[in-house]
Each structure stands twice: as structure tokens, then as C-alpha cells.
Amino acid sequence: MSANGIGAPVRRKEDFRFITGQGQYTDDVVRPGETRAVFVRSPHAHAKIKSIDVSAARTMPGVIDVLTGAQLAGDKIGNLICGWMIHSKDGSPMKMSAHPALAAGKVNCVGDAVAVVIAESQAQGRDAAEKVKVDYEVLPAVVDPAKAQAKGAPQIHPDIPNNTIYQWHLGDQAAVKAAFDAASHVTTLDIINNRLVPNAMEPRAALAEYDAGTDNLTLWNTSQNPHVARLVISAFVGITPEHKLRVIAPDVGGGFGSKIFIYPEEVVCLWAARKVKRPVKWTADRSEAFLTDAHGRDHVTRAELALDASGKILALRAKTIANLGAYMSTFSSSVPTYLYATLLSGQYAIPSIYCEVDAVYTNTAPVDAYRGAGRPEATFVVERLIEVAARQMDLEPPELRRRNFIKNFPHQTPVIMAYDAGDYNASMKKAMEIADVKGFAKRKREAARNGKLRGLGYSTYIEACGIAPSQAVGSLGAGVGLWESAEVRVNPTGSVEILTGSHSHGQGHETTFAQLVSERLGIPFDSVSIVHGDTDKVQFGMGTYGSRSGAVGMSAIVKALDKIEAKAKKVAAFMMEAAEGDIEFKDGKFTVAGTDKSAAFGDVALNAYIAHKFTGAELEPGLKETSFYDPTNFTFPAGCHICELDIDIETGKVDIVNWTAVDDFGTVINPMIVEGQVHGGIAQGVGQALMEGAVYDQAGQLVTGSFMDYSMPHAHDLPSFHVGTTETKAPSNPLGMKGCGEAGAIASPAAVINAITDAIGSEDIAMPATANAVWSALQRAKAPKAA
């Protein structure tokens, strides 16, 4: 391993600009003549728009224009779309409502934009927005997914009965029923997977500029996948043809899924920029982010596990209602279906599984992928079921897991996925050692002497990452292929630029991708630059989500590097007057086998460009190669997280005293960055388990609409973490990588709740397990049961 190669904890290239305040986020970009867009948003969750009067707003100082949904429709700007088709069990396609970027006629959630003010300054825009008069006829709202399908529930979209988007299922219902009928033990749980607000620290922003001379539009935005944004905005929304639109996602301050999606505001800024012929910028304030960023999770589930007397799992059954909010966001349909039910086998050999999912509209913000996307929900179901089953059957939870772990690979689950490699017992064993499970009983006694209830909870999770073979996702309804692209440009001086379709918004690609190239080409780490996030520079890319940029994005780079090496060998052969087959490449040097002739990588690069040693008929000058890599399978990161915590008996306050994570991510390029990803994921999962929850009141008002009301994890809410790895290589990609971005968020909620329920001796607790919730659960557990 070289100092900066694969496996080294290289310090990040991108950090200098961030620690010196020189990052370039969308709101930092300023264009000449820039104006500000301020949106007029609905204060009602569900209402008819009877009229909009913009006349007073138009006369306010600094106002350039005020635009409404009627004008947007008049200009034939199309709807935002959901790009993943799901069919109901009766074969009918999902019911996608219209989703105009500015509402016309009706609003369906608080924060729905009905008009936009374009003004010289944000303050002037805000003043004017207050003068826009909207006459609403308020309608009853529904916010609870479990009530959305009820008879008499408010009808949100006129042509979609019972607010039901689809009624989907997966698995063999009859086989599962037979297994349950024969089971000696059945564990049943009712689970609410709480609704979360992603809250990347950089609020979403968009800056659109129109060049009248060329009729080109440029959009700077906070996107995890600028090419997909360009595709949707051109081909579906119809703002302008794809080749007339450039999308640039510069430094992006966190995403966690919420910046995958195509949002109304970027469409409106583009449309308005062309109308007012000046650049138009919008930057969300945090209140807007709470109201309009796609939220995550929000499932209501009944889950059952059937076991025989020896603790062998026979079958799993789940019925879930998934809340998708007022409109279907870009990939929302896939999250509670193919990213959820396909993971219900967990790490276990389960002969049969059946899952039904109803997706519903409610008068709330759209819900889509948030770190883990479906897989945290699946893991929570599986890991709560097995922990509770173990307790009910009087078995140690790790022992019940061990009896059911998949041990032979490849393993075909009954829910589509074919696991290709793993060693689940190895990660659990290592985690139990690090967590000192053997000493737990003693620590529990000591805690009790201090008035604390101590608990230990496990979560042995699995996820499907890489997202994924295009043919596979296409057969499941995806509207796009999910490959990745890379272009390797070797300059005449031997330095290298990598153009990647992956997008970094905190993951450190400028460092890890350069580590790969430096090791592979034997050139200095500092001679490699990574270019991403600009549709004018990178030809196409699918972006970063689903822990895919290592397994898929870096694999594309590997394929392009293979081509670079092959071409460079031809150039070297001409240079050294040798047969191409005799050229060897190692440590940045081309040698002729069996001789002392050699040429450095930089010399070969120069010769490729000056082309003095060969004619164009023999070999094309230049050294630049492109590859599109389509994986052959998902990857399956897996591992074991163990949470140890104390509960204060008097207050119910939970204090996490120890956290152990042992993950199998396959090949690790940079352990420092991987550990950082795990830390951040755990924090988000602990946030979900202990404090976070988006709450709407019955009128559809978002009660938790700011950081004062929505509890974000702070430094003092968390411990330091013990993080380790085990390794089985992913056989489906050339580097053996599996992906690490989501694991922490997937694993951790179940570990926390399993630890709390272990401590209090009752399964009667829901997320978020706030001090109040835990204290109440303790009182319920103490109360004598009614006869």
C-alpha cells in the first residue's frame, strides 16, 4: 500500500477550501444582474385557490415581476414527475397526480407554492410576497397515512380514489400462510417508522441564468445528480431542450437523499429567468426547507415472524402503509417497495416472505428517499422482530440470530435479492468482543446501583447498495438506467483529470477517487484532479445516492483506466520500438520485458500527444478514455451494531454509553472517510430512534417546522463510537467494494430500540423514544394489568 493509495487514511484534498471559508456553494455563486425569487406559499394544508391578486405586490419597491401558476400553465410548463413505475397487485399502474411547479386551482400541503415574486433583493421580495392576496377555500385535510384510505377521508387528487397510489405486494402469500399455520411460535409487532426531515445543513438553492444570445439556460443547484435534473427538467417539465440547458451542482452541503429530487423551485427559477431576462436566485430558509424538502420514512406496519420450536425462522409477513405526501416525488414510489420489501430477509435464511404495501397521498410534504431509503424501515422490522422473538422464546438474541444466519453464498432470498458474499457471524462476533458483551451483566448491576436501567440492543443489518444493474431496475419499473460513467483525461504533462458522473456532497470523492488513480497509474496523488457536478464537463452521470459512488462510480473509473493503460502500452511500444505484447506497466513505468528499456508514465503521455513516434494511421493521438459501467448485481454491505445505554428511572432520559459498529463494506479505499460515514449514519439513526420526528397536526400544519421544534442530534446527545470492519469482497465489481454511506442510518434505530426495550422490560415503545415516551412506557410497564 502506497502512502496515498488504496487503503490509506489520506487526508482530504477538498478540506482546504472548506476550512478556510472558500467553498463555493450555490448561494455563494453571484451572477451579474442577479435577482431574487421569493415564493408565496400556502398556509393551508388543503384548499381551493379562489383567486390570486398580485396587483399590490407588483407596485412594491424593487419588484420586477410576480408570476402565478396560471401563467406557468399558460406557458405550457409541464409537471414534475415520479420516475419509477410501480404496478398494483391487480396489474394497474400507480396513480400519479399532476404536480405543477406552482399550484393552480388547488393546494395540497402547507408550503405548496402558489406564486413567486422576482425582486431586486430578497428583503424587497419578501415585502412584496406579503402583499400577494390569495383567497382560499379551506378544505378538510388528512395527514395520517393510516387514515388516508378511510371512507370519508378528504379526497386530495380528484381522479385518485381513496388517496391510494398503489396496492403492491411481493412474495408468496400462500406459502407464507401455510408456514404461519404450522409455526410453533409467532411474534407480532405494530411498528410506526417515524417521519423524518433530512435537514442537510445547506438549505436547497437554485440560480438560473438565461443567455438570450444563444438561447441557453444555466442552472446552479444543490443537486446530488445534476444530469438527472437536466434530463427531467428538459424532457418532462419541458423548460428547454436538454442540449440548451446546463446544470452545475457546485459544492453541495450535504444531501442524504433530499437533493436527489427535482423540485418546483428550480423549475420556476429557470422559467422566470427567461421571462425577466436576468439571473434569478432562490435560497431556501430553514422554514422553507422543513416545509418543502422531501421528508423520509413514515410507514405504518404490522409485521409477523413465524418460527419453529427450535427457533428456526419459517416465514415473515408484513403489511405496510407508506405515506408519500401530497405529490409523488422523483423516486418516491420505489422506496417503500423495491428498496424495502426486498430487504425483509435481513441476514437470515427465511424460506418464504410476503409483503403488502399501500402507498397513500396525504396533505403533507412529499416523502422520498432519505439516507437508507426503505432499507432502514426493512431493517427495523426484521431486527425488532428477531430481538422480540428471542426474548419471547427465552433465547439470547445473538443466539437466535446465529441459528438463522445465511452461511452459504450465493443465497437467493424469496424477495428478489441474490446475496453474493458475506460472513454475518464474523461481524457479530467481532462486535460482541469490542462491546464486551461478556461484561454487560456486571455493568448492568453497577448501573442499577446508580438508579439507572441499563440495556443492550443488537442490530444485524443488511442493505442492497450500488443501485444497480440497469436491466434489473428497469424490470422493476425504474425509468432510468443506474450505471455510472467516467472519463479519464491524461494531459500531455502526465497529470490526470477524472470526470465522473458521481457527485460529492461530503463523501470526499476528490480524495478517494484520486487514491485509486494514483495507485493504479503510479503517479503522484497531487497530479490527479476530480471533476464532477457540471453537465457541460461530464457527459452524463447518474449521481450519488444508494451508497453507489464507490461500487459503481469508481468501477467506471477502473474500466476507463484499463483502456488508458491499453492505449498507453501501444504508445510506449512505438516509443521504445518494441512489440506491444512485450510492454509491461507497473508503478508508473512502462518497461520492455526482458530489457532495461523503460518510459515513465509522463513521457508516454507526452508522446501520445506529440505523436512523433507513430502516424495517425497506426494509432490515434491523444490519451483520453471513457467508460460506462453497469454493475452485474447490487452490493450487500452488512454488519452488526450494538448499542448499550442507560435510562434514568426518574426522568426516562436515555444516555448512550457505548456504541459498537462492525461493518463489512468489502474493499475500503480510505478508512478515515469510511469511519466518518459510519459515524454520521449512526447519528442520523440515533436521531430517528431518540429525538427526531416530523409532526403534523390534524389541520395539516407542520408543528415541527424549525430547529426549535424538530430535535436534531447535538454533540452532547451522542457518544464517541467504536467502529471496526470485517471484509468479504463484493464479487460483482472490480474493486470488491460494497458501499458505506447508509449503513449507520440503516442499522442504528433497531439497535437503540432493542436496547431500550431490553432495559425497561417492555416492547411498548415507539420512535422517537424521547425521555417523555420512555418515562411513560416505564409507568405503563409498572402499572398493574387490567383483569
Partner 1 sequence: MATVSMTVNGKAVTGDVEPRTLLVQFLRENLRLTGTHVGCDTSQCGACVIHLDGIAAKACTTLALQCEGASITTIEGLAEPDGKLHPMQEAFREHHGLQCGYCTPGMIMSALDIVRRNGNNLDEHTIRDQLDGNICRCTGYHNIVKAIEAGAKAMAK
All residues at 6 or more sequence positions from 450 whose CB lies less than 8 Å from its CB, including other chains = none
Amino acid at 155: Q
If one asks whether residue 48 binds partner 1 (CB under 8 A), the answer comes out as no
Rounded least distance, CB 310 to partner 1, Å: 39
Residues 107-126 close enough to bind partner 1 by CB under 8 A = 123
Are 141 and 702 within 8 A, CB to CB? no
Please identify which residue in 85, 672, 766, 781 interacts with partner 1, judged by CB under 8 A.
Answer: 672
Residue 619: exposure state from Cβ atoms within 10 A (0-12, 13-18, ≥19): middle
SS (H, E, C) 192-241: EECCECCCCCCCCEEEEEEECCCCEEEEEECCCCHHHHHHHHHHHCCCCC
Cell of 347: 441476514
Does residue 30 belong to the site contacting partner 1 (CB under 8 A)? Answer: yes
Q: Judged by CB, which is closer to partner 1: 675, or 758?
A: 675
Instruction: Quote the least distance from Cβ 721 to partner 1, whole Å.
Output: 6
Q: In the set 140, 676, 724, 734, which binds partner 1 (CB under 8 A)? A: 676
| Nearer of residues 251 and 664 to partner 1, judged by Cβ | 251
Residue 18 vs 587, nearer CB to partner 1: 18
Site mask, partner 1, residues 726-765, x = CB under 8 A?
------------------x---------------------
**Which residue, 184 or 706, is less far from partner 1 as judged by CB?**
706
Q: Which three cell numbers stand for residue 531?
A: 471533476
For position 296 contacting partner 1 by CB under 8 A, the verdict is: no
The least CB distance from residue 28 to partner 1, in Å, is: 4
Q: Among the candidate windows 327-335, 415-423, 424-432, 504-512, which touches partner 1 by CB under 8 A?
A: 504-512
Q: For partner 1, which residue of 201, 309, 617, 787 counts as binding (CB under 8 A)?
A: 201
Which CB sits closer to partner 1, 586 or 716?
716
Q: What is the distance of C-alpha 381 from the center of its chain?
A: 19
CB 46 within 8 A of CB 700: yes
Q: Which of 740, 722, 721 is nearest to 730 (CA)?
A: 740
At its nearest, how many Å lie between partner 1 and the CB of residue 533? Answer: 13
Cell of 708: 426549535
Quick one: which segment of 138-146, 525-533, 608-616, 675-683 binds partner 1 (CB under 8 A)? 675-683
Q: How far is CA 242 from the centre of its chain?
A: 25
> Least distance (Å) from partner 1 to the CB of residue 513?
16
Q: Note whether 497 and 489 are within 8 A (CB).
A: yes
* Stretch of 88-96, 325-333, 505-513, 643-651 contacting partner 1, by CB under 8 A: 505-513
CA distance 740 to 672: 12
> CB of 737: closest distance to partner 1 in angstroms?
19
Contact 728, 420 (CB under 8 A): no
CA distance 221 to 248: 6
Stretch that binds partner 1, among 17-25, 97-105, 333-341, 344-352 (CB under 8 A): 17-25
Eight-state DSSP code of residue 550: I
Nearest-approach distance from CB 677 to partner 1, in angstroms? 8
Which of 355, 358, 356 is closest to 322 using CA atoms?
A: 358
Kindly state the helix (H) or strand (E) to which residue 70 belongs, with its residue range. Answer: helix 69-74
Cβ closer to partner 1: 180 or 513?
Answer: 513
Question: Among residues 660 and 757, whose Cβ is nearest to partner 1?
Answer: 660
Q: Is 254 in the site for partner 1 (CB under 8 A)?
A: yes
Any contact of residue 706 with partner 1 (CB under 8 A)? yes
Cell readout for 579 is 512489440
Any contact of residue 286 with partner 1 (CB under 8 A)? yes
8 Å CB contact between 573 and 580: yes
Cis, bond preceding 468 (omega within 30 deg of 0): yes
Among 133, 277, 445, 714, binds partner 1 (CB under 8 A): 714
The SS3 call for residue 394 is coil
Q: How many residues bind partner 1 (CB under 8 A)?
A: 58
We find the least distance from the C-beta atom of residue 411 to partner 1, in angstroms, to be 32
Stretch that binds partner 1, among 294-302, 467-475, 702-710, 776-784 (CB under 8 A): 702-710
C-alpha cell at 70: 396560471
Work out how close the CB of 236 gets to partner 1 at its nearest, in angstroms, rounded to a whole number: 29
Return the number of the residue (422 or 749) whose C-beta is nearest partner 1. Answer: 749
Determine, following the binding rule CB under 8 A, whether residue 20 of this chain makes contact with partner 1: yes
Among 141, 200, 464, 767, binds partner 1 (CB under 8 A): 200
Q: What's the closest the beta carbon of residue 261 comes to partner 1, in angstroms? A: 17
Q: Which is nearer to partner 1, 17 or 407 (CB)?
A: 17
Q: Check residue 25 for interaction with partner 1 (CB under 8 A).
A: yes
Taking CB under 8 A as the criterion, the residue among 76, 449, 716, 785 binding partner 1 is 716
- Report the 3 state secondary structure along 168-194: EEEECHHHHHHHHHHCCEEEEEEEEEC
Q: Does 28 bind partner 1 (CB under 8 A)?
A: yes
Asked if 721 touches partner 1 (CB under 8 A), the answer is yes
Choose the stretch contacting partner 1; rule: CB under 8 A; options: 383-391, 548-556, 582-590, 708-716. 708-716
> Pick from 203, 397, 652, 736: which binds partner 1 (CB under 8 A)?
203
The answer to whether 783 contacts partner 1 (rule: CB under 8 A) is no
H runs (alpha helix) in 277-368: 286-292
Stretch binding partner 1 (CB under 8 A), from 20-28, 106-114, 325-333, 641-649: 20-28
Q: Provide the greatest CA pair distance for the chain.
A: 95
**Pick from 696, 639, 729, 122: which is nearest to 425 by CA?**
639
Stretch that binds partner 1, among 7-15, 158-166, 206-214, 757-765 (CB under 8 A): 7-15
Of 199 and 660, nearer to partner 1 (C-beta) is 199
Using CB under 8 A as the binding rule, whether residue 32 contacts partner 1 is answered as no
Q: Please give the sequence-ordered ranges of beta strands (E in DSSP) within 12-85, or none if there are none.
A: 35-41, 47-53, 63-68
CB of 78 to partner 1, least distance (A): 32
Length of the chain: 787
**Site membership for partner 1, residue 19 (CB under 8 A):** yes
Tell the burial category of 398 from Cβ atoms under 10 Å away from its Cβ (0-12, 13-18, 19+).
Answer: buried
Choices 198-206, 319-327, 335-343, 755-763; region in contact with partner 1 by CB under 8 A: 198-206
Stretches 197-205, 327-335, 347-355, 561-569: which one binds partner 1 (CB under 8 A)?
197-205
Instruction: Give which of 377, 371, 383 is closest to 346, Cα–Cα.
Output: 383
How crowded is residue 287: how many other Cβ atoms within 10 Å of its Cβ?
Answer: 15
Contact 296, 195 (CB under 8 A): yes
**Phi, psi (degrees; rounded to nearest 5) at 295:** -85, 175
Residues whose CB falls within 8 Å of the CB of residue 528, separated by 6 or more in sequence, listed in order:
495, 496, 497, 498, 513, 514, 517, 518
CA distance 701 to 285: 18
Does 3 help bind partner 1 (rule: CB under 8 A)? no
Q: Which is nearer to partner 1, 16 or 526 (CB)?
A: 16
Q: Which stretch binds partner 1 (CB under 8 A): 18-26, 380-388, 557-565, 752-760?
A: 18-26
What letters, b where the CB count within 10 A reaches 16 and e where it falls short, cover 71-105?
bbbeeebbbbbbbbebebeeeeebbbbbbbbbbbe
Distance CA 277, CA 209 (A): 8
CB of 625 to partner 1, least distance (A): 31
Site residues, partner 1 (CB under 8 A): 11-12, 14-25, 27-28, 30, 123, 199-203, 251-254, 256, 285-287, 505-508, 672-673, 675-677, 679-684, 706-708, 712-716, 718, 720-721, 744
